[in-house]
């Protein structure tokens, strides 16, 4: 069990990264089929939040073998673990799409929790032309070194079976699995959307200009997305209308289950 994992280069095929799948196994399979994904040579890396909202949470968890199909931990898996560990945390998970988990018997719940507790919280991958990092939510202070430091800080307690509420675990989980520092900068400073409430029509209108605004950023706007200690970072957790590349950051959480949407799924090694 290692919270931070290093993955060697794929010498035989392609490496793909996908954003939050949230139980939508068929959507993922359709997109992999369209790419002629070959499990004998290709690899798939998930950014966490495989569970909740869609119909196939358990099946998606069972897909992860950390050999061909990899995943890091997301905040929805963290909520699942916490709900299993502490009755007081059930409601938060249930309210965020986790009702499927509490329909399972305790033995099956335990099996799934034991499985996801083996997942890393962050990964770095050798692509053959650089090193990329995978993290679910955020990169504190735009520093991959801080991601590594937080993972190291929590690793011993996690390996010993500490609960999500244990202080070392909670301190690392907040920035890595929950925070939205970078995405808020993207929405506020690049797209021009603050935290004020807006109608769905207003959001859709603003989203029509998303690509144009991202491509027109100046050096000051780009600065927070320049990540030290790594060549590129892929993140999920927070919705973007299209896969979005700015600075060293790639935001891939594009799928809400609505008609016409696709999962953010990209090849990272040009294989």
| Cα dihedral 271, 231, 239, 58 sign | positive
Out of 22, 76, 136, 237, which one is annotated catalytic?
Answer: 76
22 is catalytic: no
- What secondary structure does DSSP assign to 68-135, as a single string? SEEE---HHHHHHHHHHH-GGGHHHHIIIIIHHHHTS-HHHHHHHHHHHTTS-SEEEEE-SS-EEEEE
CB burial readout 242-271, b (16+ within 10 A) else e: ebbbbbbbbbbbbbeeeeeeebbbeebbeb
Q: Which of 251, 212, 255, 254 is nearest to 232 (CA)?
A: 251
The residues annotated as belonging to the active site are 76
């Amino acid at each position: 069990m290692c919270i931070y994992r290093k993955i060697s280069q794929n010498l035989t095929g392609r490496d793909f990264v996908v954003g939050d799948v949230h139980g939508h196994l068929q959507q993922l399979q359709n997109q992999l089929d369209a790419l002629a994904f070959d499990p004998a040579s290709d690899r798939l890396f998930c950014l966490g939040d495989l569970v909740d909202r869609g119909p196939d949470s358990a099946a998606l968890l069972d897909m992860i073998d950390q050999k061909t199909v990899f995943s890091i931990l997301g905040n929805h898996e963290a909520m699942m673990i916490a709900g299993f560990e502490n009755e007081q945390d059930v409601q938060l998970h249930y309210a965020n799409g986790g009702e499927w988990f509490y329909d399972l018997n305790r033995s099956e719940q335990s099996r799934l929790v034991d499985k996801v507790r083996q997942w890393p919280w962050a990964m770095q991958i050798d692509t053959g032309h650089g090193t990329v990092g995978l993290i679910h939510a955020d990169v504190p202070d735009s520093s991959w070194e801080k991601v590594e430091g937080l993972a190291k800080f929590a690793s011993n307690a996690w390996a010993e079976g500490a609960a999500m509420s244990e202080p070392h675990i909670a301190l690392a989980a907040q920035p890595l699995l929950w925070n939205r520092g970078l995405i808020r900068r993207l929405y506020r400073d690049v797209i021009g959307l603050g935290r004020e409430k807006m109608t769905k029509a207003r959001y859709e209108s603003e989203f029509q200009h998303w690509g144009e605004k991202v491509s027109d950023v100046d050096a000051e706007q780009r600065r927070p997305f320049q990540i030290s200690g790594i060549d590129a970072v892929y993140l999920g957790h927070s919705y973007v209308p299209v896969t979005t590349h700015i600075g060293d950051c790639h935001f891939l959480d594009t799928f809400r289950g609505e008609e016409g949407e696709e999962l953010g799924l990209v090849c990272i090694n040009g294989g």
